[in-house]
A = this chain, B = another copy of it.
Amino acid sequence: MSLELVSQTKSFGGWHKQYNHASSALGVSMRFAIFLPPQAQSGEKVPVLYWLSGLTCTDENFMQKAGAQRIAAELGIAIVAPDTSPRGDNVANDEGYDLGQGAGFYVNATEAPWRDHYRMYDYVVDELPKLIEATFPVSQKRAIAGHSMGGHGALMISLRNPDRYCSASAFSPISNPSDCPWGRKAFSAYLGGDESTWSQYDTTELLRNSQSKVPLRVDQGLADTFLTEQLQPEKLLGAAAESDCSLQLEQHEGYDHSYFFIASFIEDQLKFHHQYLVTE
């Protein structure tokens, strides 16, 4: 589990760093970014927010555009941003922006050719936290959040692993991937034509009848061009009503799917997580 430092930049009194490492879950070299707040330099073990990005993104989009470091530095939270898929010349790919490299959907693929490397679920749930917690001055208090495809990933992963996360949130998540074009394309390829295998990775299906106590928050812009066809946050409300889960849906007039929306409300989401991360 050796790490190669790619870059390090001081930011808001803490450090933004990028690393490469050989991932055993994915069978390729992966890059991730970590923001270590100032509190981590004084020996304090800080909690970690894992951020899962959306289609086409790398570890860089959130770290460069969300403005999250300012608040993370204030609250004493580390942020870890993995890439959105395995990458490389030997990794299966597709011409579309919504399948293959940059579009791993945080599942373990079972179908050829994807199953050789596309195991982002195992990477995000197991391998990456193990590496982070063995390497950096962080506690085992974890939160998980993301945007769009990564918003789906964050909610889905928290529902399947309620003991591992204190809280979960999403901006503009793909709420019901089994029933929208982005999700159906990806799940057909990665998981195959038998749709009964899809529900294990579908946030809306998981939420129905879930007994997870992980508090969930979703922020959705009402001028998001993907709202009706791809995102469908009303599905989450319906499913949460059938479950024991706590889901807070915040809808924002006029905001779209971009990082300007995320930047406008990331402070609210980080403060949402902070209240659960600091609880013993």
Residues of A within 8 A of B (CB): 9-13, 16, 64-65, 67, 69-70, 221, 223, 254-256, 258-261, 263-264
Contact = CB atoms under 8 A, between A and B. Distances in A.
A211 B10 CA distance: 37
B65 A10 contact: no
B69 A10 contact: no
Nearest to A68: B67
Interface SS of chain A: mixed
Given A11-B263, A260-B9, A260-B11, A67 B64 contact: no
B264 A11 contact: yes
A263 B65 contact: no
A256 B12 contact: no
A265 to B, nearest CB: 9
Contacts of A260: 9-11, 16, 69
Query: Chain B CB within 10 Å — which of A11, A65, A69, A254 has the most?
Result: A11
In the complex, which of the residues A9, A13, A16, A263 has the most CB atoms of chain B within 10 Å of its own CB atom? A9
Contacts of A223: 10
B263 A10 contact: no
A13 B255 CA distance: 9
A174 B160 CA distance: 53
A13 B261 CA distance: 10
A39 to B, nearest CB: 16
A204 to B, nearest CB: 27
Contacts of A254: 10
A194 B259 CA distance: 47
Contacts of A255: 10
A263 B69 contact: yes
A40 B269 CA distance: 27
B70 A258 contact: no
17 contacts: A9-B258, A9-B261, A10-B223, A10-B255, A10-B256, A10-B260, A11-B260, A11-B261, A12-B263, A12-B264, A13-B264, A64-B64, A67-B67, A69-B260, A69-B264, A70-B263, A70-B264
A264 B223 CA distance: 30
Contacts of A258: 9
